[in-house]
Amino acid sequence: MSVKYKLLRGKSAPRGQNPSHQVSVLVPRLILWFIVGTALLLPWLYDTPISLFYKFLAHSKFYRFSGFETLETVFFYSVVEGSYTKRFIRAPSRRIDVREPKSADSKFGPNNPRWPRMRRPSRRLGEMLTYVAPLLTLDFTLIKKYAGVPVEHIRRVGGYSPAVIGQDGDISASFLRPTFHNFTLASPLQLWRPLPTDAPSSRRIVLELIISFFIYDALFFFIHIAFHRLPYLASIHKPHHRHGEMNPQVTNQLSIAERLSLILLANFALNIIKSHVLTRSIFVPIFVYLLIEVHSGLDLDWGYDKVLPRGWGAGARKHAKHHREGNAGFQQFFCWWDNGLELWDGIFEKKD
């Protein structure tokens, strides 16, 4: 029986037995820890390049466009999913969730696995529109609020008078109080977003990324459980699990409500800690990459779960098992919350 059929049943070779695998993972792991370590301990090394880069972005009309983050997400999603799909097609030995042939005399087998149903990019325009439309609607109607931006600037970009007077005097810089754009003939849509003047330090960027991913993953864990265990939400989430073999295209096989929940959770995690807008711009490609990797159905040497310390990352293997069984593996990227749930369930099982 081939390795991929063992993986299908949740079995795999013990990690660390392949010396070449250890060497291949060591390189990105060292690079990651070097960047994180120097960014936290020696932030002055990055002050000049970050300052110049942010100054360039802040003067760019495209970066100041209110729909920038939506377009950034679509761009990186297209690039990353396309590359993973190509790898999925060209490396059948890496596939995790290969389905058994329907009969013994089938032309499909371990060396010629059956392909899952996958759609060509030209036939996914409707999927892209249903993803982009609600996000751009929010982009064009709500004023963007970022840390470090004065209220006067927020009001001016939103079409209000900079002075805090009249009925609109309660507009605040808090993202917890969403504010609609002041729609007028001169300014019919919220086309621009107010940006902070100063660039962040590398230490701030790294800390904000770590904390925001931790918050997002915790929130997603509890909401994901609700999507599985509450009947109405389960009916909404069920199509995400209605597929053959796990593959990169499953990533976006979501209802509009689920897509919005992912985006809103990520926004909340970033906003609640008052992250800098540049942190948000870096968060997006990392978030998209991790999201597609866990749905890729591929067991890759440089998977983020292998690069991180053992037991931290969930990875594609655990998420494929979740899609198979649906009764565990509710985490998005990390394992901490699921490990806690297993411990909790184990305590109650012993009591029973």
DSSP type of residue 252: G
109 DSSP β-pair partners: 112
- Rg (the chain; Cα; Å): 23
Instruction: Flag whether the pTM goes above 0.75.
Output: yes
Cβ–Cβ < 8 Å for 196, 204: no
CA distance 127 to 115: 21
3-state secondary structure of 17: coil
Cβ–Cβ < 8 Å for 209, 64: no
313 DSSP β-pair partners: 334
Look-up of token digits 């810089």:
173
pLDDT for position 11: 42
CA distance 324 to 345: 20
77, 83, 135, 329, 345 from 287: Cα distances, Å = 10, 16, 17, 18, 30
| Number of domain units in the chain | 1
Is residue 173 domain-resident? Answer: no
pLDDT for position 111: 53
pLDDT for position 126: 74
Is residue 67 domain-resident? Answer: yes
143, 239, 284, 289, 296 from 81: Cα distances, Å = 30, 19, 14, 8, 8
CA distance 201 to 62: 23
Cβ–Cβ < 8 Å for 290, 266: no
Tokens (6 digits) for 2: 């081939």
CA distance 61 to 32: 32
Instruction: Please report, in tens digits, the pLDDT of each residue of the chain (352 residues total).
Output: 333 434 444 344 444 445 555 567 888 899 999 999 999 999 999 999 999 999 999 999 999 999 999 999 999 999 999 999 989 988 888 889 887 655 555 555 555 566 666 666 666 777 778 788 889 999 999 999 999 999 889 999 998 887 654 445 567 788 888 899 999 988 899 999 999 999 999 999 999 999 999 999 999 999 999 999 899 988 999 889 888 888 998 998 888 888 888 999 999 999 999 999 999 999 999 999 999 999 999 998 889 999 998 889 889 999 999 998 878 888 889 988 887 766 665 555 555 5
CA distance 344 to 55: 49
**Helix (H) or strand (E) run with residue 213 in it:** helix 202-229
CA distance 145 to 130: 25
pLDDT for position 14: 41
The residues, any chain, with a CB within 8 Å of residue 106's CB and separated by 6 or more, are none
Is residue 138 domain-resident? Answer: no
Write out the residue range of the structural domain in which residue 86 sits: 3-105+199-351
Is residue 135 domain-resident? Answer: no
Is residue 177 domain-resident? Answer: no
State the amino acid at position 52 in one-letter form.
Answer: L
Is residue 84 domain-resident? Answer: yes
Is residue 206 domain-resident? Answer: yes
Is residue 51 domain-resident? Answer: yes
Cβ–Cβ < 8 Å for 306, 25: yes
